[in-house]
Structure 1
Amino acid sequence: MWSTDRNTMRAVFYDAWRHFKEQTPLTGVEALIVEALVAHPEYQPLFDDGRPSETIDPTAGSGTNPFLHLGLHIAIAEQIATDRPPGVASEWQRLQGLWQDAHRARHAMMECLEETLWEAQSRGIAPDDSAYIERLRALGTGGRKK
């Protein structure tokens, strides 16, 4: 999955969905992709034809890039599994318990991650793990509205 070529990266999403539909074993990252796709049926038709297309505009109509959105789901799942940066897993537990909605909690975390990544990219620096964790801690406390 880790490539600099957009079509190669996108092919992993198509392969994961095809493997799921064919009920063949999934790799670790494929399982994460499928979990995110199952939670987002609005994206499934894009993957139903089974092959990536260079001509597809994934944001047409919705304004959301499903590859980016699904990739953020994967990033959050990996962060939770590894507790990287430290504290992210406990924030996940808190948010999931607070809202009783895992998908909502992931989406809120994804917004914090997007903000942290945007900030780093715009400044040309590495993402600030402390700022990210503080954004997560503010969720559900009145510091941020979700």
Structure 2
Amino acid sequence: MFTPSSNDVRRFFCEALRKRRAGEILTPMDAIAADWIEQHPEYHDELADADAAVARDYAVEGGKPNPFLHLSMHLSITEQVSIDQPRGIRAAYEALAARVGEHEAHHGIMECLGEMIWSAQRHGTQPDTDAYVECVRKRVR
């Protein structure tokens, strides 16, 4: 299993943006990441310098959003929807996207994904994927 460090993740996103801007060939994952980066121009300056990005602290106490966490969640949701894992996430996403648009649907799903992870960590249990999908479905109603 591939388990990149936070520095690896930061460098990946910075490199995807650099390649897109330079007109270089992108891997499929680079292309997906670059597409999400383009939809978040507020992160472009932070992703322009990989060394600075690696050195930056995004502690909750600092009050500044972590663009790498946000973009990683976009990638995770994109993958989940593409393979319908957990089962039902694709239909829930499509219904939500039809109501609020694709980008806003992702942001709504992020909240549900965050709740699922937080709950599992808090209770020391496996993530409850049924509750996660149901959380997304409730956003459609």
For normalisation by structure 1, the TM-score amounts to: 0.86
Offset at 1:54? 3.8
Task: Give the Cα separation in 1 of the matches to 2:45 and 2:62.
Answer: 13
Say if 2:33 and 2:71, in contact at 8 Å, map to a contact too: yes
User: Does the 8 Å contact 2:96/2:140 carry over to 1?
Assistant: yes
Please tell me the residue identity of whatever aligns with 1:3.
T
In structure 2, what is the Cα distance between the partners aligned to 1:96 and 1:119?
25
CA-based RMSD: 1.9
2:35 alignment counterpart: 35
Please tell me whether the aligned partners of residues 95 and 140 of structure 2 are also in contact (alpha carbons under 8 angstroms). Answer: no
Q: In 2, Cα distance between the equivalents of 1:94 and 1:54?
A: 37
4+ residue segments displaced more than 6 Å: none
Q: What percent identity do the matched residue pairs reach?
A: 34
Q: For residue 48 of structure 1, what is the amino acid of its counterpart?
A: A
Point out where structure 1 has 5 or more consecutive residues left out of the alignment.
142-146
Q: Residues 140 and 114 (structure 1 numbering): CA distance in 2 closer, same or farther, change over 3 Å?
A: same
For the 8 Å contact 1:72–1:110, the answer to whether it is kept is yes
How far has the Cα of 1:50 moved from its partner? Answer: 4.5
Unaligned regions of 5+ residues in structure 2, if any? Answer: none
Q: Secondary structure at the match of 2:55?
A: coil
Relative contact order, higher structure (CA 8 A, sep 6+): 2
Residues 21-30 or 39-48, more deviating: 21-30
Q: CA deviation at 1:53?
A: 4.3
The question of whether the paired residues in 2 share the 8 Å contact of 1:11 and 1:52 is answered with: no
1:4 and 1:50, CA in 2 relative to 1: closer, same or farther beyond 3 A?
A: closer
Q: What amino acid maps onto 2:18 in structure 1?
A: R
Q: What is the distance in 1 between the residues matched to 2:36 and 2:53?
A: 21
Shift of 1:117: 0.8
SS in 2 for 1:139: helix
Is the deviation greater in 26-35 or in 106-115? Answer: 26-35
Residue 48 (structure 2) aligns with: 48
Per-residue deviation, 1:61: 7.1
